[in-house]
Amino acid sequence: MDVLIVVDMQKALMIGNEKCDIDQVLKRIERLSDRLRRRGGRIVYIQHAGPQESDFAPQSPGWVLFDALKPAEQDLTIHKRFNDAFFRTSLEADLRDMAPERVLIAGWATDFCVDATVRTAAALGFRTAVVADCHTVSDRPGLSAQEIIEYHHWKWQQIISPHPVEIIAEIRI
């Protein structure tokens, strides 16, 4: 069984610079989620809980998951306050209870929250796969979003951990 971790796909991420391929990323995440559920997989939504004055403040309009994502009753939602979805959350314990064959990771932002979550999942010994076409980021100073994504795909494959990190396309899962 696979578990898909969907990191920070909340409405507030639309504030600021354009996110690379966001509409298609959302469609692919939802399509993959449906496919995994049908095969007995699980979906874990990570929701960033920012300070009260932030766009990601709990219960604010920006805190809510995108409408395109349709969590099912059996899906799990975990709230985080830091980049890494494992830090001071129940994610590791929840995954250990689920005992997935693989942990698939998707979401926003490639270079911050997705990256931190990928690194920790791999370090904890989970068979980790990043869904290459299901994560996004904005252009950053000196780097385009596409360059950031390509660089992180390369970087994640260089991680030394109990299992190599895989980079796979949504359609191949």
For the stretch 70-104, pLDDT in tens is: 999 999 999 999 999 999 999 999 999 999 999 99
Cβ 60 vs Cβ 10: under 8 Å: no
Q: Give φ, ψ of 30 to 5 degrees.
A: -65, -40
Quote the pLDDT of residue 173: 87
Token pair, residue 95, equals 């995954």
What's the number of domains the chain is made of?
1
CB atoms within 10 A of CB 106: 26
- pTM exceeds cut of 0.75: yes
Quote the pLDDT of residue 63: 96
Parts of the chain with a pLDDT under 70: none
Q: Going by C-beta distance under 8 Å and a sequence separation of 6 or more, which residues neighbour residue 20? A: 136, 137, 138, 139, 145, 146, 149
User: Strand, helix or coil at 134?
Assistant: strand
Token pair, residue 48, equals 């960033």
Cβ 75 vs Cβ 47: under 8 Å: no
Quote the pLDDT of residue 142: 95
Which range marks the domain in which residue 114 is found?
A: 2-172
Quote the pLDDT of residue 168: 97
Let me know the angle formed at the C-alpha of 155 by 151 and 156, rounded to the nearest 5 degrees.
120
Check which CATH number belongs to the domain holding 114 and give it.
3.40.50.850
